Amino acid sequence: MPRALFPRLILIASVAVPGPTVFAHELPVGDGKVTDHPEAGNVYACNQNFRGNGARHVGDWFHGDTWDPLAKPHVRGEVSWPDASFSATYGADGLDVASNGLPVGVPTGEFPIAKDDPVYAYDTNPNAIREQPLQFTIPSAPVIADTPSCLSMGMIGFTVTGVAFYNALDDAGRDAAAHEVQDVCDGHPQGQGQYHYHSSSPCLPGAQSNTVVGWALDGFPILGMVDADGRTLSNDDLDACHGREEDVVIQGHRYSYAYRLTPEYPYTLGCFTGQLQAETVQMIRKAMGPPGNPNRRPRNAEGPRPD
Domain ranges of the chain: 27-288
- 100 within 8 A of 87, measured Cβ to Cβ: no
* Tens digit of each residue's pLDDT, the chain (307 residues): 333 333 333 333 332 333 334 456 799 999 999 999 999 999 999 988 887 776 777 889 999 999 999 999 999 999 999 999 999 999 988 999 999 999 999 999 999 999 999 999 999 999 999 998 999 999 999 999 999 999 999 999 999 999 999 999 999 999 999 999 999 999 999 999 999 999 999 999 999 999 999 999 999 999 999 999 999 999 999 999 999 999 999 999 999 999 999 999 999 999 999 999 999 999 888 887 654 333 333 333 333 322 2
Backbone angles phi, psi at 284, to 5 degrees: -70, -45
Alpha-carbon span 240 to 41, nearest angstrom: 7
Q: How far lies 284's CA from each of 93, 172, 207, 276, in Å?
A: 17, 24, 25, 13
pTM (2 d.p.) = 0.87
Neighbouring C-alpha atoms within 13 Å toward the C-beta of 77: 25
